[in-house]
Amino acid sequence: MNAQHSIQLPEPECAFGYSERQLRDALGDRYDDFIEYVLMRANAICTGNSPCAVAHGNTFYQHDVQRFVERA
Ligand SMILES: [Zn+2]
């Protein structure tokens, strides 16, 4: 465990998970590492239709973000 790497994750603002904008805010300079980390993984595009009422665009699953933060 290395305290300098600990990232506080907010609650995902989208029904699918975290929006791109939200992750940029939460991860800061680790954002590019995260994009590399999820490159080969599935992610959802939120179009503002059910189950989410707001079109968030590219979103990332909470469990992927969680795993990335925990291994960081
Ligand atoms: Zn959404």
Distance 4 CA to ligand 1 centre (A): 31
User: Looking at the predicted structure, is the pLDDT value of residue 2 above 60?
Assistant: no
Q: What is the pLDDT of residues 10-66, one digit of tens each?
A: 999 999 999 999 999 999 999 999 999 999 888 999 999 999 999 999 999 999 999
pLDDT digits (tens, 9 = 90+) for 49-60: 999 999 999 999
Pick the closest to residue 70 from 3, 4, 6 (CA basis). 6
Residues 6+ apart with CB under 8 A from 64: 17, 37, 38, 41, 43
Place of tokens 């179009």: 47
CA of 16 to the centre of ligand 1 (A): 6
Q: In the chain, where are the structural domains located?
A: 13-71
pLDDT at 71 over 80: yes
